[in-house]
Amino acid sequence: MRKIYFFFLLLCTQLFFAQFTENDIKFWVGTGSKKAYFIADFNDNNTPRSYAWGYRFDGDNLMVEDMINAIMAAEPKIEADIPSGFLYSFKYNHHTPSTDDYWITWTGSNAENLSNQNNGVGYTALTDGLWFGITYGLDFSDTPPSTPVPAYSSEWYTSSQITNWMGTGNNKSLVVVDFGTHNSNNNANSFVFGIKYNGSITAEQALQLIQSQASYFNFTSSNNQISNLSLNTFSGNNSGTESWKLYTGKDLSSWQKKADLSQIQLSNNTWLGLSFGDRSPFTPTEASNTTLSVASVNKKASFHIFPNPTSDFIQIDTPENIKEVNIYSSLGQKVMTSQTTKINVKSLNAGIYWVEIKTKNGATVHKVVKK
C-alpha cells in the first residue's frame, strides 16, 4: 500500500509541476525530419540525476539502440555497453552506476508520461515522436524516469577558448556566470572568466580574485550564499523566488548543484558555475569590459555587416584589424569562429545569430539574421 501511495504521489507531482517538453532540449544529435527523445535517470544522490537528449533521423528500421549509440558518439563523457541489444551499463560523467542492478526501460508520449515498460533498447523501434527513458535500480522498477534537465555537450566550451587569464599559478579553473535568458532577443546571457592559482581555493576566493582584477565585476555574499552579482549592465539580486544557484563541474555537461559556497573547493580544472534562474550555467562567451553589454551592442559605428539578412555569407566592413570573429546561436552556443572579414554561413540553420567581433580595442556584438 505504501508503494502504491508513493507511486500515486509521484504521478501527481509530475502532472502538476513537471513541464519538460521538446522545446527544453538543448543537445540534439543526428539529422532528419523525424524526432525521438532520450531520458536517462541515474537514481543516485547527485543533483541533477536525470538528463534528456534529442535525436533527429529519417530511417525506418532504427531501434532505440541506434539513438543511444549516436548520442554516445556525440558526447565523449557517455559510456554505454549494449551486448545483443541489452543495456548492460550506462555511465555519464560522475554518474557511474554499478552492474549489481539493472536498467529499466520506458516509453511514452511525452516526458511526463513514460509509464510503459518495453522490450529494451535493442528491441524497441524508433518512431517519430517517441519518448524513451531508462532508470537504474530494481527497487525503482515501478517508478518511471523523473523530470530531466536538458543535457549539455562537454565540447560546447573548453578552457582552451579562454584568451585572457586572471591571477597566477599552475592550476586553472573556469567561472561561468549565467544571468538567464530574459530579454526580447532570447539571447543566453552567460559569461566565463578564466582564473589561475596555486593549490586550491574556495568559491568565494575565486570570485574575490575576479573582483580584484575586473572593475566591471562585483558581488556580495551573506550566509554562504551570493546576495547580488553584477557584470557590466547585467545584474542579479536575490529577492523572492529569484536567487543565485551554485554549481561545480569539469565542463558544461557535468554540473552538480551545490547548496552553498562552503561546499565548493576548486582545484585544477574544476569549474564554478553561478546561475540566476532555473537552468544550469549555459554556453558562455568570455567576459570582458565590453561583454555583450548594452554599450557593446550599440557600439557599431565603425563596423558594418552585410548582407543582413543573409543566406550564403557575411562581409564585415571595418577599418580596424580583426583578431577574431565568433558567431553564437540565439541560445548562446558558439557555432563558428573565424579570423577573416568574409565568412561563409551556408551551413548555419535559419534564425537569429550574434556576431562577436574582437579587435585590439575590445569587442562588439552585432545581430545577424540567417535566411
pLDDT value of residue 188: 80
Predicted confidence at residue 78, as pLDDT, reads 98
Indicate the CATH number of 159-286 among 3.20.20.70, 3.30.420.40, 3.40.50.2300, 2.170.130.30.
2.170.130.30
Q: What is the DSSP letter of 145?
A: P
Q: What is the mean pLDDT of residues 195-211?
A: 96
Mean pLDDT of the chain: 87
Whether the Cβ atoms of residue 69 and residue 78 lie closer than 8 Å to each other:
no
Distance, CA of 284 to CA of 333 (rounded, Å): 7
Q: Which of 135-144, 176-185, 197-206, 288-297 reaches the highest mean pLDDT? A: 197-206
pLDDT, one tens digit per residue, over 79-103 is 999 999 999 999 999 999 998 999 9
pLDDT at 322: 87
Tens-digit pLDDT profile for residues 211-230: 999 989 999 999 999 999 99
Domain spans in the chain, listed from the N-terminal domain onward = 22-150, 159-286, 304-370
Which DSSP string corresponds to 128-175? TTEEEEEEE-GGGTT-PPPPPEE---TTSS-GGG---EEE-SSEEEEE
**pLDDT > 90? residue 354:** no
Alpha carbon distances (Å) from 83 to 72, 89, 218, 360: 15, 10, 53, 55
Q: What is the mean pLDDT of residues 233-238?
A: 88
How many helices, marked H, and strands, marked E, lie in the chain?
4, 28
One-letter amino acid of 61? N
pLDDT digits (tens, 9 = 90+) for 250-267: 999 999 999 999 999 999
Enter the CATH code of domain 22-150.
2.170.130.30
Is the pLDDT at 300 greater than 60? The verdict is: no
Q: What is the CATH code of the structural domain delimited by 304-370?
A: 2.60.40.10
Q: Is 12 a residue whose pLDDT tops 60?
A: no
- Contact (CB, 8 A) for 166 and 194: yes
Residue 297's pLDDT is what? 40
Annotate 107-144 with b (16+ C-beta within 10 A) or e (fewer): bbeebbebeeebebbbebebeeebbbbbbbbeeeeebb
> Do you know the residue count of the chain?
371
269-286 pLDDT tens trace: 999 999 998 899 999 999
Contact between residue 219 and residue 284 where contact means Cβ atoms under 8 Å apart: no
| pLDDT tens digits, one per residue of 24-72 | 999 999 999 999 999 999 999 999 999 999 999 998 999 999 999 999 9
Residue 180 has pLDDT above 80, yes or no: yes
Q: Does the structure show a pLDDT above 80 at 360?
A: no
pLDDT (0 to 100) of residue 9: 43
CA-wise closest residue to 250 among 279, 271, 274, 268: 271
248 pLDDT higher than 70: yes
Q: What is the pLDDT of residues 315-329, one digit of tens each?
A: 998 888 888 898 887
User: Identical fold at 159-286 and 304-370?
Assistant: no
pLDDT of residue 183 exceeding 60: no
Confidence of residue 352 (pLDDT cuts 50, 70, 90): confident
Distance CA 206, CA 265 (A): 10
Q: Mean pLDDT across the stretch 206-210? A: 96
Q: What is the pLDDT of residue 46?
A: 94
- What are phi and psi for residue 253, nearest 5 degrees? -85, -10
Q: What predicted TM-score, i.e. pTM, was given to this entire model?
A: 0.76
Nine cell digits for residue 361: 580595442
Contacts for 200 with CB less than 8 Å, ≥ 6 apart: 171, 265, 266, 267
